[in-house]
């Protein structure tokens, strides 16, 4: 899943694709590089980000989705709003990627159910302004048990809304209401999340826990621009674990890693 941030304030690309033409061009580049799905988002979910108003989010994503769907791309809309999800599906999106798992706007579940879109429900506890506070990064019984328990609870809501079980993908929510160590514990224990019985999407690309891992001698995290090699290594691990998908910024690097892995696997 290749990321197209149609935002002025995303942590990873700083507004490089905030305008329709640039976002569409970037999406076409990701398609050419081998992205299976393009994830189009109009709201930054970096820690501390301010939410755009509804009309602004719609204006950002709908023209990009329309253009890229017309070019033959499989489109995912990265949104927490039911109105944006409905407009995106009408414009050609086949996937609703809701990082709030239906908690920010429960009506988004009705959109997924009524349209038949694939629904990606992520583990989430709070909006960007609050999610990394101590109140939201504490898990009774540890992060793995907590995330599994809370995702299981969300599955009840998805079923109640009428989303078909074969249309549900889960995401453990790396970087959302989690410490750096929490993220690594979740990566190590993905089988615990998979035991819920649903495919997993994992989004680790360029996130701050990679920056912390690669910090320099004085503890300064590696900048976003220097995290791609670590992200590619983690992609390889995730592929070996058999996850359904990975959400990445650099599709070329990801495909290179996967090609090497598949070639070696073909020898055995």
**178 carries an active-site annotation:** no
**259 carries an active-site annotation:** no
Of 207, 241, 259, 262, which is the active-site residue? 207
Helix, strand, or coil here: 199? coil
Helix, strand, or coil here: 186? helix
204, 208, 209, 215 alpha-carbon torsion, rounded to 10°: 130
Tell me which H or E stretch contains 96.
strand 95-98
Question: What CA–CA distance (Å, rounded) separates 268 from 263?
Answer: 10
Residues 61/69, Cβ–Cβ less than 8 Å: no
Residues near 58 by beta carbon (within 8 Å), at least 6 away in sequence: 42, 83, 84, 87
Of 247, 259, 262, 263, which is the active-site residue? 247
Q: Could you give the C-alpha distances from 213 to 154, 190, 206, 209, 216, in angstroms and in order? A: 31, 19, 11, 6, 9
Dihedral sign computed on CA atoms, order 211, 214, 218, 223: negative
Catalytic residues: 207, 247
């Amino acid at each position: 899943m290749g990321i197209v941030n149609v935002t002025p304030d995303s942590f990873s690309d700083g507004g490089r694709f905030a305008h329709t033409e640039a976002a569409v061009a970037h999406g076409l580049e990701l398609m050419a590089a081998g992205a299976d799905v393009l994830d189009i988002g109009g709201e930054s979910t970096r820690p501390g980000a301010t939410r755009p108003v509804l009309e602004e989010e719609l204006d950002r994503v709908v023209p990009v989705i329309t253009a890229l769907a017309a070019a033959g791309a499989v489109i995912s809309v990265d949104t927490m709003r039911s109105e944006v999800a409905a407009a995106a599906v009408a414009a050609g999106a086949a996937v609703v990627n809701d990082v709030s798992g239906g908690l920010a706007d429960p009506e988004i579940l009705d959109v997924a159910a009524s349209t038949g879109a694939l629904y990606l429900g992520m583990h989430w506890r709070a909006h960007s302004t609050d999610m990394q506070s101590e109140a939201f990064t504490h898990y009774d019984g540890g992060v793995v048990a907590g995330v599994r328990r809370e995702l299981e609870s969300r599955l009840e809501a998805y079923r109640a809304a009428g989303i078909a079980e074969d249309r549900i993908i889960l995401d453990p929510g790396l970087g959302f209401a989690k410490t750096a160590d929490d993220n690594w514990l979740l990566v190590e224990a993905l089988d615990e999340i998979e035991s819920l019985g649903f495919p997993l999407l994992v989004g680790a690309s360029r996130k701050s826990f990679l920056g912390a891992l690669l910090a320099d001698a004085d503890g300064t995290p590696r900048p976003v621009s220097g995290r791609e090699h670590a992200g590619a290594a983690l992609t390889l691990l995730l592929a070996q674990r058999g996850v359904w998908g990975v959400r990445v910024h650099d599709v070329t690097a990801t495909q290179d890693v996967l090609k090497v892995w598949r070639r070696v696997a073909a020898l055995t």
